[in-house]
Structure 1
């Protein structure tokens, strides 16, 4: 926006403020005088946004009522009035949530920090006052007006705005006091508290608010409850090995960062969550080194979008039965060409859990081979969301068109779990059991002979004849060259991949991107669908077994034979003249 246009708009916003204030004052009781706050330096605040090279561009859009919410969400252009109940045609709940967080205020504050131009503060103030008028007069049933996530973020955004504005523009502090205290009561109330990452957001904001309103009568109670709840959340939500239990690497990173910021904020004010939390936080950093693929990207397991981290990778294998995650790895001279394999079986929380038990992801020679379905959105009844949550969208063993219930973890703890794991320089081995379906049970054993042979032994015991399928969810760039019931040959830009069956199967099918059904689609970015290919081996029966090798490049020539003694589940493998016998 040109300087003259900005000056004109700034004057218009400044002139509009008194009218907004008058309307809000009419609806506000004015019981609260803002004489009990503690000024917090901006660099020590916890914020919902980060200043970046795009901060001014984002804020200039918001000046024109073009709302930016989050990296992967569309910008929404409003007219002269903001529709606070806006319904997006795709992922309506998600957009409504981010409208109600008032993160747009934080983006405007970021731009002021960068430029010192008060137009951004005036715009933030008019948006805040407009939202207060809306919240006090609107009769629509909008669940996101007052819900944990939105209230938690709004609290931080309003505090950020106040700290910047109080010495820069004329604001009515009593209005800010009223709305923040209302937020504090909401955050404190246990009936608004859910024991997941949203609860951590609530406690984070309540801790900041209690420090900010340090002389308010409620602040000591707010602080003690938030500290107690957030300590309990840390011990509840991370495994003994420091893995966040909400089934998604992206949420591990997010929640780890939230706790680090909470602890850092408190230390700045001579407070702390405790030395025990500080020590365990160090463990949460280590997990990212394992779960990262060799190219530095997080796998799209659970509700994780494609994202790259600046974290030093470790190539040791990793297993955490509490979190239901196993990482098998083999380091190449060139780190990028290393082999990485994940296995999921079991869970410690229902939150963000997909029906992905017994599923695998595979990365080799700089490329994804088998991938998870990703995130897409959080609208449960969206057809893509339903598919992406389903077993059919993962590389696992399934009954055709059958789902299972994600029960509370204590109910499924003995039904879905990893039962064996070992790792050495030659191979990694893991086994999982899945009794979460009605009428049949599944077992999957995986042996990864480093670096290019993966053996999968699947075993099904059913109370009746059914169709069981081995589903392989290929990365979008993988090309299927040939297929039959015994062997499927695929090609990527860097390698040849062979899926070979050693027990006769009924049929093999190939599914290509089908957005209508849907089938064979994945989501690497929020709200975006891309096509991929699936290979499905099927067998009909009550006691069904699959013995499958995934052979990467030279692995096809190295593996001479595989057989299994079905009476005692002893696997015999011949690799380059060397015989191995393993009980699986």
Structure 2
């Protein structure tokens, strides 16, 4: 059980422990350190990530790294400080009630905190341990909280609660009570796996990062079930086993996970699978194009539209990302922070933070998945020997219907056809979120040359009449940023095409300028016609 809870031969002394001795704490990872003059302020509010810092403060991760420093250096000062923090938390009036206004009793904080206290209690000499009566009372209170329906969320936080509840049940002295907690944790975890994963075993929380997180939480739970010799649903086991295969299809050719939804930059260490990944339930299509001669020059394209859960979702529907021959061209916005009051977070999660179409300065409501699935989704992904046709809709903007078709040529680029209609004039934008390394130069009306870091030239061109454009440079304070790491903003730039009509169409192409030439682009009713490399094509679009 101690190994399951994180004890191993690789534990190390942390510089954070030295800070903690001076009452300066790093709550988690690379968070800012927070200095307290005397006692810890359990109601502490960080200046730009208030909710996140509150939760991680109450996780008491400092107890774990102080315990590890003691185990490595064998100096009592670390374990004395760890116990001081635990006792201070237990005795604080701010932390007693499940209904406290701080984050003491949130699913995430309660699950992590008690596991950290158990880690302390398991690994320190007897003279430093909490008294048995206090420890048992604390364990039972945490288990009761984690088992309560009103404090349980059917998302990744619920998985944290279930894994913690199952683990902590091993430290409940009354075996009947422990068995009740074990049964509850097991039944809830089985239910939540069926709910959180699609029929293709992809997590439905709108983020590759949370796909990985729920995989790992589920896997930890299943390993613990096996350690405790308990039964667990065989289909759930297979869902999680299969989910790991999807990671290889989702990552880009450089093995980075796309920054879709609340996702930070993470690089995988496995071999990529170049099969396409299409999941209509998750609203995600990934098109992989393998360069057999040079894998580093492979290409990747994503299309996102629709949802079944709102967890970690951005207003990114109908958005695209594009990685062409080893270089990012169009990127997603990342997560930055979970604080919805933060204006930068508001932009990053908005339609304007993504390569999609939207009503200017507006976003749509995600209120009823049962009915919204008919109004916003990927309609189809059709593939033949020449191109791939992806189609989706978004009818959730008030009084507007949007249809997006993408005609994707794997070797050299694509066209995006956006049609919208309303019974009143609408100011609409079609946005392209560029990687910061791209150099942009205007060339003609609604036409831009995009130069990559390695010197490739791509031409972005909007082909219809009565279209305006706006280039938001890297210096723009309102539009020029995205995020790869938590609480860290990076500069980038965007190109936005604009129209103001009752109904209209954007037809925009993005092609390798050295491989392709496109002209004579027109739309006749539902049929797109264009000349690409001296070959005229006619393609029927989705019905509006």
Q: TM-score range by the shorter chain?
A: over 0.9
Q: Please report how far the alpha carbon of residue 50 of structure 1 lies from its aligned counterpart in structure 2 after TM superposition.
A: 8.9
- Taking structure 1 as reference, are residues 171 and 285 closer, same or farther at Cα in structure 2, changes over 3 Å only? same
Mapped to 2, the partners of 1:508 and 1:72 lie a distance apart of 39
Assess if the C-alpha contact under 8 Å between 2:302 and 2:320 holds in 1.
yes
Cα displacement string for residues 5-63 of structure 1 (whole angstroms, at most 9, x for unaligned residues): xxxxxxxxxxxxxxxxxxxxxxxxxxxxxxxxxxx3x2233x4x998686532333323
TM-score, normalization: structure 1? 0.87
Conserved 8 A contact 2:527-2:538: yes
- Determine if the alignment matches structure 1 residue 572 to structure 2 residue 532: no
The whole-number CA distance in structure 2 between the counterparts of 1:552 and 1:173 is 69
Instruction: State the 1:162 CA deviation.
Output: 1.6
Q: Please name the residue that 1:81 is paired with.
A: 39
* Other-structure match for 2:299: 339
Q: CA deviation at 1:130?
A: 1.1
Which shows bigger deviation, 359-368 or 536-545? 359-368
Deviations 1:282-332 (A, max 9, x none): 221122112211111111111111121213211221110100001112112
Residue 337 of structure 2 corresponds to: 377
The structure-2 alpha-carbon separation of the partners of 1:340 and 1:151, relative to structure 1 and needing over 3 Å to count, comes to same
Is 1:247 the counterpart of 2:206? The answer is yes
Structure 1 residues 482 and 288 mapped into 2: Cα distance closer, same or farther (>3 Å)? Answer: same
Aligned pair in 2 of structure 1 residues 390, 136: CA closer, same or farther (>3 Å)? closer
The secondary structure found in structure 2 opposite 1:471 is strand
SS of 2:194 mapped into structure 1: helix
Q: Structure 2 length normalisation: TM-score?
A: 0.93
CA contact (8 A) 1:514 1:521 kept: no
1:306-321 correspondence to structure 2 within 5 Å: 306-321=265-280
Corresponding residue number in structure 1 for 2:409: 449
1:22 corresponding residue in structure 2? none
| Deviating more after overlay: 313-322 vs 327-336 | 327-336
Does residue 272 of structure 2 align to residue 304 of structure 1? no
Gapped regions of structure 2 (runs ≥ 5): none
How far off is 1:579 after superposition?
Answer: 4.2
Which of 195, 220, 227 is equivalent to 2:179?
220
**Paired position in structure 1 for 2:90:** 132
CA contact (8 A) 1:339 1:452 kept: no
Task: Tell me, in whole angstroms, the C-alpha distance in 1 between the residues paired with 2:198 and 2:449.
Answer: 39
Secondary structure of residue in 1 paired with 2:500 = strand
Cross-structure match for 1:10: none
Q: CA-to-partner distance for each residue in 1:46-101, whole Å, 9 max, x for gaps?
A: x4x99868653233332333322333421223334322222211111111110011
Which residue number in structure 1 is paired with residue 166 of structure 2?
Answer: 207
Output one character per residue of 1:350-393: Cα deviation in whole Å (capped at 9) or x when no partner. 11111100001111233221111111111111111111121111
CA contact (8 A) 2:139 2:171 kept: no
Offset of 1:216 from its aligned partner? 4.1
- The answer for the alignment partner of 1:266 in structure 2 is 225
Distance 1:171 1:156, change over 3 A: closer
Is 1:186 the equivalent of 2:136? Answer: no
Deviations 1:429-459 (A, max 9, x none): 2100111111111011112211221111111
SS at match of 1:493: coil
Written as runs of structure 1 = structure 2, the 5 A alignment for 1:64-103 is 64-103=22-61
**Structure 2 counterpart SS, 1:44:** coil
The 5 Å alignment of 1:470-489 reads: 470-489=430-449
1:12 maps to which residue?
Answer: none
Q: Is the 8 A contact 1:318 1:326 kept in 2?
A: yes
Cα distance in 2 for residues equivalent to 1:514 and 1:378: 24
Alignment deviations for residues 413-437 of structure 1 (CA, whole Å, 9 cap, x no partner): 1000111112355432210011111
**2:361 is matched with which residue: 383, 401, 404?**
401
The answer for the alignment partner of 2:16 in structure 1 is 58
The number of residues matched between the two structures is 538
Cα deviation digits, residues 510-550 of structure 1 (max 9, x gap):
1124675x222212211122221110111221121111111
Partner of 2:489: 529
Q: Distance in 1 between matches of 2:9 and 2:390?
A: 44
For residues 438 and 321 of structure 2, the distance between their equivalents in structure 1, rounded to whole angstroms, comes to 14
- Write the mapping of 1:550-561 to structure 2, written as runs, cut at 5 A: 550-555=510-515, 558-561=516-519
Please name the residue that 1:282 is paired with.
241
In structure 1, list runs of 5 or more residues that go unmatched.
1-39
1:502 maps to 2:502:
no
Instruction: Check the 8 A contact 1:102/1:154 in 2, yes or no.
Output: yes
For 2:307, what is the secondary structure of its paired residue? Answer: coil
Q: Name 1:583's counterpart in structure 2.
A: 540
Deviation, 1:105, is 1.3
